[in-house]
Chain A
């Protein structure tokens, strides 16, 4: 502790340089924290509670292709299947075609929705109101909070995929691990289009996670020689597949993060080397006074780590404020509904900044600690 003042004074020695270094570290660590949060969010999609009790049936060609409505009855007859419901992506525009107004909308069979998505909690009254009225909708609490929706509000969607602009009344607000989806009646859309009877996916509830492999195989075998063969996956695999359409996003993000950190480490090393060179004589004097090389090394490394940690703390605060309180995370809301700066992400940001400090300060500090006293003093004279 008695050396703390010496360390902080040296950190503040060249304020402009320190501020610029702190800012450059903070920008890079902010990017790293954001990328880490994106990766965590992508991972969390496949870990939603209840997912192990469900499989998803889709066309084997693409999730954009559809299946006949008649598949449902056959699927429900497979041993191990408790219930199933058809679901289609609507993809309508709410207010404006902007990211902040984008959210997931599915038209579904309302009778089985809550049997299959059993982790969603809704009051019996709201559930009944939703099921009885064809223009009704239910929304997750997080989504309702985001747009300030309440029961009885009428939501107008403009069809972007389908030529239909539904006017829907919110009759229920559910809670659960996934609160960002908007559900409304399949019947509403089917009737509007003359009952084409096409289904984007079937969500299937199992009696046990252990049944998943057998059920998936049986369903796909059943439709193997039909006009619309299926691909059945666990919900986690389905989500992962959905994400994988974006390519190797995680790898790309991790790669960018590492390059940013590496670059800033080199810049930091240059700054620290500059600082060490300027203090060549001072270090020699300190060594003459009795400071051992290991102490010089520790002091200079501490300075580098302190500067980098200041950047890390700044980055963590910025990320927390920007993504949590200001809500710029909404831009990523469609695919990253669980996007947040977690404690783990903050720990990673601080750890990365400490590492940047250690690596960037390592060689300059080592060189300073090896300075020969007579050489350092001679430079003055």
Chain B
């Protein structure tokens, strides 16, 4: 196995709702190699999204460590985490979550507003990202003027514009028709293969999971095979 980018060590997560503890993740151990394209599968409520959130630094475990690129992100405070996410993580959501009052260019530019890049440099980065997803001719279009597949491509451009090492995608094709879903999955695969992005994708869809190098199953907060041993689809062997 290649050098791990992500190392999850004995992570436990539970939520408290109306004085009742609801266990979500139970003593999870997982390693994800740099450049990996990993699919997280499992039934609803199995903890897939929670695990993804922990890896992306938008939630914290109750115990255990999440080490990404050598940094234990569970030790970072909110301010440090925000800075770390801006630099290292690209987010892709099921419902795209573009800002409706900003056009495609401005949506993609949004993460760059947190950097010290000049206006010209920001523009160059945005146009590069939009050309990677094939939407350089839609820069002035607002989300409402785009199809679902195009919106998701804008969201992917926003995710890669800061050139993060890690992309996290939560059901990225969950709201798309089959054709658009295939286009998005091909794009993710291309980002993984050409641009060497490490991708972790939560999905319900076995067809989507087939695009990944490896699949991890979660069942009631427990990995079906732990210790970084993946059930790798035959196509990748």
Residues in A1-49 with C-beta less than 8 Å from chain B: 2-3, 5-6, 9-10, 12-13
Given contacts A2-B113, A6-B113, A373-B58, contact A290 B85 (CB under 8 A): yes
Residues in B200-233 with C-beta less than 8 Å from chain A: none
Given contacts A2-B113, A6-B113, contact A289 B86 (CB under 8 A): yes
Given contacts A373-B59, A374-B58, contact A291 B114 (CB under 8 A): yes
Q: Which chain A residues lie closer than 8 Å to B111 at the CB level?
A: 289-290
How far does the Cβ of A335 sit from chain B's closest Cβ, in whole Å?
Answer: 50
Q: Which of B82, B99, B113 contacts A3 (CB 8 A)?
A: B113
Any A CB within 8 A of the CB of B37: no
Q: Which chain A residues lie closer than 8 Å to B58 at the CB level?
A: 287-288, 373-374, 377
Task: Give the nearest-CB partner of A2 in chain B.
Answer: B113
Task: Give the nearest-CB partner of A10 in chain B.
Answer: B101
- What 0/1 readout, one digit per residue, does chain B (27-54) give for beta carbons within 8 Å of chain A? 0000000000000000000000100010
Q: Which chain B residues lie closer than 8 Å to A12 at the CB level?
A: 101
Q: Which chain A residues lie closer than 8 Å to B100 at the CB level?
A: 13
- What 0/1 readout, one digit per residue, does chain A (265-296) give for beta carbons within 8 Å of chain B? 00000000000000001100111111111000
Q: Which of A285, A290, A380 contacts B114 (CB 8 A)?
A: A290
Contact segment of B4-12, B65-73, B87-95, B184-192: B87-95
Q: Does more than half of chain B's interface fall in helix, strand or loop, or is it mixed? A: helix
The CA of A282 and the CA of B95, in the complex, are separated in Å by 12
- What 0/1 readout, one digit per residue, does chain B (164-202) give for beta carbons within 8 Å of chain A? 000000110000000000000000000000000000000
Given contacts A288-B85, A289-B110, A290-B86, contact A2 B119 (CB under 8 A): yes
The CA of A291 and the CA of B83, in the complex, are separated in Å by 8
Q: Which chain A residues lie closer than 8 Å to B91 at the CB level?
A: 285, 288-289
How far does the Cβ of B85 sit from chain A's closest Cβ, in whole Å?
Answer: 5
The CA of A235 and the CA of B158, in the complex, are separated in Å by 72
How far does the Cβ of B69 sit from chain A's closest Cβ, in whole Å?
Answer: 16
Verify A282–B82 contact, CB threshold 8 A: no
Any B CB within 8 A of the CB of A245: no
How far does the Cβ of A287 sit from chain B's closest Cβ, in whole Å?
Answer: 7
Any A CB within 8 A of the CB of B156: no
Q: Which of A5, A288, A291 contacts B56 (CB 8 A)?
A: A288
Residue from the set A2, A290, A373, A374 with the largest chain B CB neighbour count within 10 Å: A290
Verify A285–B49 contact, CB threshold 8 A: no
Verify B93–A285 contact, CB threshold 8 A: yes
Task: Give the nearest-CB partner of B79 in chain A.
Answer: A292
Any A CB within 8 A of the CB of B106: yes
The CA of A6 and the CA of B106, in the complex, are separated in Å by 9
Q: Which chain A residues lie closer than 8 Å to B110 at the CB level?
A: 6, 286, 289
Residue from the set B49, B56, B58 with the largest chain A CB neighbour count within 10 Å: B58
Verify B102–A6 contact, CB threshold 8 A: yes
Any B CB within 8 A of the CB of A381: yes
Task: Give the nearest-CB partner of A373 in chain B.
Answer: B58
Verify B102–A374 contact, CB threshold 8 A: no
Any A CB within 8 A of the CB of B78: yes
Task: Give the nearest-CB partner of A13 in chain B.
Answer: B101
Residue from the set B87, B110, B158, B170 with the largest chain A CB neighbour count within 10 Å: B110
How far does the Cβ of B127 sit from chain A's closest Cβ, in whole Å?
Answer: 17
Given contacts A10-B101, A13-B101, A380-B95, contact A291 B53 (CB under 8 A): no
Given contacts A2-B119, A289-B110, contact A281 B97 (CB under 8 A): yes
Q: Which chain B residues lie closer than 8 Å to A13 at the CB level?
A: 100-101
Q: Which of A282, A373, A374, A381 contacts B99 (CB 8 A)?
A: A282
The CA of A377 and the CA of B170, in the complex, are separated in Å by 11
Q: Which chain B residues lie closer than 8 Å to A373 at the CB level?
A: 53, 58-59
How far does the Cβ of A193 sit from chain B's closest Cβ, in whole Å?
Answer: 76
Residues in A347-381 with C-beta less than 8 Å from chain B: 373-374, 377, 380-381
The CA of A186 and the CA of B78, in the complex, are separated in Å by 83
Q: Which of A286, A291, A381 contacts B94 (CB 8 A)?
A: A381
Sample 12 A-B pairs with CB under 8 A, ordered by A number: A9-B101, A13-B100, A286-B99, A287-B58, A287-B82, A289-B85, A289-B91, A292-B79, A373-B58, A374-B53, A380-B93, A381-B49
In order of increasing CB-CB distance, the 7 nearest A-B pairs are: A290-B86, A9-B101, A373-B58, A285-B97, A292-B82, A289-B111, A374-B59
Q: 14 additional contacts, CB 8 Å, given A2-B119, A9-B106, A292-B79? A: A5-B106, A6-B110, A10-B101, A282-B97, A282-B99, A288-B91, A289-B91, A290-B83, A290-B85, A290-B86, A291-B114, A377-B97, A380-B94, A381-B49
B: which residues have CB within 8 A of A? Answer: 49, 53, 56, 58-59, 78-79, 82-83, 85-87, 91, 93-95, 97, 99-102, 106, 110-111, 113-114, 119, 158, 170-171
